[in-house]
Structure 1
């Protein structure tokens, strides 16, 4: 019976994660997974380094998957929340929904559910906005961009207006596919996210 307190202590320490450091979870798609980049070049990797350099204790967990949709992220979220118990969740999803022409109401519902579940688990949430190329038609592209603003407003969470601001149309900043940013663009992506993320770390 005397071993029971030690077992309980071990379970508590395990649940606290590495050294009890708060976890910053990035739930995204290929833009956050570092598609087409060498290991360590993506903006999420750069984020981990910036946090360390500026004295933040957070440990970054990159749960981004290339090709992920808002629905896929929603399905994966409960296990990620249970495993990592994040203090902050960055939601960078929806781009693949738009590229596939999926229904906007379904995308909106999925993203709103991700935000709500993460907040219900005690995390602060940052929503990252995306836009579509003009060839998807003006109505669809306008409504797609607007859904991020609407979710952020309705759920009361901060928003990065457009992850690829200053990158999408800049020479040398996009890979040959025209969808994924180059290694040279990654610091700009981090700078687009940082002003909206930093207040959540305090």
Structure 2
């Protein structure tokens, strides 16, 4: 009996240690253009062995695409925390900001219904899309965070995108050298929620 109790305690403690975190993003989180093991999500896996990081990010993903994939991801991952990094591709395609707000709000609500905590990453688009649209786009994230009462994480690319040494040749995606900086930026936000 004592051996059974000891095994049960080990199982319970290991399940508590492996708090699943779902990263739901696009190419900025999917290690686009670099080896996957060098991406910031994998670097965080190494820094946070007590957590299980599931990378549900897909290059080119829109908020609508992620919303369609979300139920299956929630079923398989059962995350305690969902880090949402979406919207860049919506903005680059000029999608209406109301559509982005609807999709992100639905992603948050579905995740919360499964008991997950939420971190919403702010996303910014290049100013060449027009200052009015860029401002409306950024405002979406502030409005959602306020309405849904979730934590808004500042855009992790803000200091990287201005440094050519940290960017790929397309001037959109961070290179391998930028990944440790992104991981270090995001780590305290994840730990602060759990």
- Would you say 1:165 and 2:158 are equivalent positions? yes
C-alpha separation between the residues in 2 aligned to 1:112 and 1:191? 27
Give the TM-score, by structure 2 length.
0.89
Which residue of structure 1 aligns with residue 26 of structure 2? 29
The answer as to whether partners of 2:164 and 2:171 remain within 8 angstroms in 1 is: no
C-alpha RMSD of matched pairs (Å):
1.3
C-alpha separation between the residues in 1 aligned to 2:145 and 2:187? 17
- Deviations for 1:106-128, whole angstroms, at most 9, x for unmatched residues? 00110011011101100111001
- Would you say 1:193 and 2:193 are equivalent positions? no
- Would you say 1:45 and 2:38 are equivalent positions? no
C-alpha separation between the residues in 2 aligned to 1:157 and 1:89? 11
- How far residue 50 of structure 1 moved from its aligned partner, in angstroms, is 1.3
Gaps of 5+ in 1: 1-15
- How far residue 191 of structure 1 moved from its aligned partner, in angstroms, is 2.6
Which residue of structure 1 aligns with residue 114 of structure 2? 121
C-alpha separation between the residues in 2 aligned to 1:193 and 1:156? 19
Q: How many residues align?
A: 180
- Deviations for 1:42-94, whole angstroms, at most 9, x for unmatched residues? 11111111112xxxx21111010000000000010011111111111111111
Give the TM-score, by structure 1 length.
0.85
Which residue of structure 2 aligns with residue 3 of structure 1? none
Deviating above 6 A after TM superposition, structure 1's stretches of 4 or more consecutive aligned residues are none
The answer as to whether partners of 1:23 and 1:59 remain within 8 angstroms in 2 is: yes
Which residue of structure 2 aligns with residue 72 of structure 1? 65
- Would you say 1:92 and 2:85 are equivalent positions? yes
Which residue of structure 1 aligns with residue 132 of structure 2? 139
- Would you say 1:150 and 2:143 are equivalent positions? yes
